[in-house]
Structure 1
């Protein structure tokens, strides 16, 4: 519940620490909505780029996503690729992340990714 300064409600923050073990199936069940959001985001990215999944030959997962087997499988099936890159060395990773960040920045400054013709990064 959000409370304004003039609210007559008492606001309390409750912190609950959970320590336990769950199965991979239960984990996937609990996170299925998040997996679905990821797929929808990929759909939107491809749509914005006027591409389809068959035009993607390589997929690289960065961050925590390589640690989630179901997410890897959904991406593999979506793009119909045999394998997904989940690790690259630091020299390769930094330019990839910088390029992605520059595209996000360009999209925030323009109406759509279609208006971004060329992005150059010098690291």
Structure 2
């Protein structure tokens, strides 16, 4: 199943309980809100109480940053919050294809160790 978010340029592909999300060219506060709405639409929970792994329909979320060339502090904060909620919910959150600009932002912000990424979908999908 493939569908496009009606709110922004996010493309989501469902790969048998694995969600592949292709990110837009920029990721700022506006896109963070759209991204959260999109995650809720596909079944991601932002509740404070972690849900059990047996209740999950999503097993893994792969976020592809190949087309993203700009991210600001609101985008970084949003990603940190989403990473925390995914860990609390026991959803495997992986990152794919950081552009050189995004690599630089994560490196300068000191977040590169928290947001590891892969260059190949096959490597991310099979882990």
Structure 1 and Structure 2 fold alike (TM over 0.5): no
* Bigger share in helix: 1
| Length-normalised TM-score, structure 2 | 0.28
Larger relative contact order (CA 8 Å, sep ≥ 6): 2
* Bigger share in strand: 2
| Length-normalised TM-score, structure 1 | 0.29
